[in-house]
Amino acid sequence: MTPRVLIIAGSDSGGGAGIQADIKTVTALGAYAATAITAITVQDTEKVHAVHPVPDEAVADQIRVVLSDIGADAIKIGMIGTRGAGEAILKALAPWPDIPLILDPVLVATSGDALGDDSVAALIRDEFLPRTTILTPNVPEAEMLTGLVIHDTDGFAVACAKLADMGATGIMAKAGHLTGDPVEDFYFEVGLRTVFSHPRFVSRNTHGTGCSLASAIAAGVAQGMSRPEACRRAVAYVSAAIEHAAGLGKGHGPLNHAMIEREDGTFRPR
């Protein structure tokens, strides 16, 4: 059977992030993408102009009908939007507690615009983390969730340990906000820390990197990869997608999601 990923996230009209980036990523990596849309954003490469939440009941209904019919081998959650939507998601997922959950704690867009408030962050900490298989925070998100200040990779590892204590099984730590070249992202779980080094690209084409990484991980988990291996492939995919981006738009441009994996585990454009 084709590996199935249910994506729960917001729509990005510019196509670089959110549901659009998620579908492109999951498809490029050979899995099937189904969706439950939490919000419609009016968004381009420069900013989020407006956010229109989808009614909570509609979010929950999308999840229920997809899981009841198509099913899923992994679930990816991105933009939750509101606390009400988050509570609806948790309730809708309750009958399927064993499906691996990859959570991208989306609270701020690449442009700096808010996509969630303190109540959503609190819900992630209190309710979502104990259900999460892999959490994918960047430095600001890890700081917001733990209350710690992160200056380097060792500090990031301390924050990851705290996130694990809060319930997350594994954490894919995105270290792009830290200084240094190469960038040293890493996968963390209790007793394990696997580092993925890659060149730092000086590029404005980074819109949707977090969405794409989490969806790439979800595709790998759905395909039966181990958590560290799913993260390794996801980092390689996103790095190549940044390197080969088309340079669209006036602001933070989207990635090139149309990548093909080589036999050596690296990626090239289609």
Confirm whether 211 is a catalytic residue: yes
* DSSP three-state, residue 128: helix
Strand partners, 53: 39
Structure tokens at 2: 């084709």
Out of 82, 206, 231, 253, pick the active-site residue.
206
**Which of these is catalytic: 14, 15, 210, 253?**
210
Interatomic CA distance for residues 43 and 14, integer angstroms: 6
CA distance 205 to 143: 24
Whether 209 is catalytic is yes
Strand partners, 50: 42
Catalytic residue among 38, 78, 86, 211: 211
Active site residue 169: no
Catalytic residue among 160, 174, 220, 253: 174
Q: List the catalytic residue out of 16, 209, 220, 253.
A: 209
Q: Does 210 participate in catalysis according to the annotation?
A: yes
Give CA separation, 122 vs 31, 127, 220, in Å: 32, 8, 28
Rounded to the nearest 10 degrees, what angle do helices 209-222 and 227-243 cross at? 140
Q: Of 208, 220, 231, 253, which is the active-site residue? A: 208
Whether 208 is a known active-site residue: answer yes
Q: Which sequence positions are flagged as catalytic?
A: 174, 206, 208-211
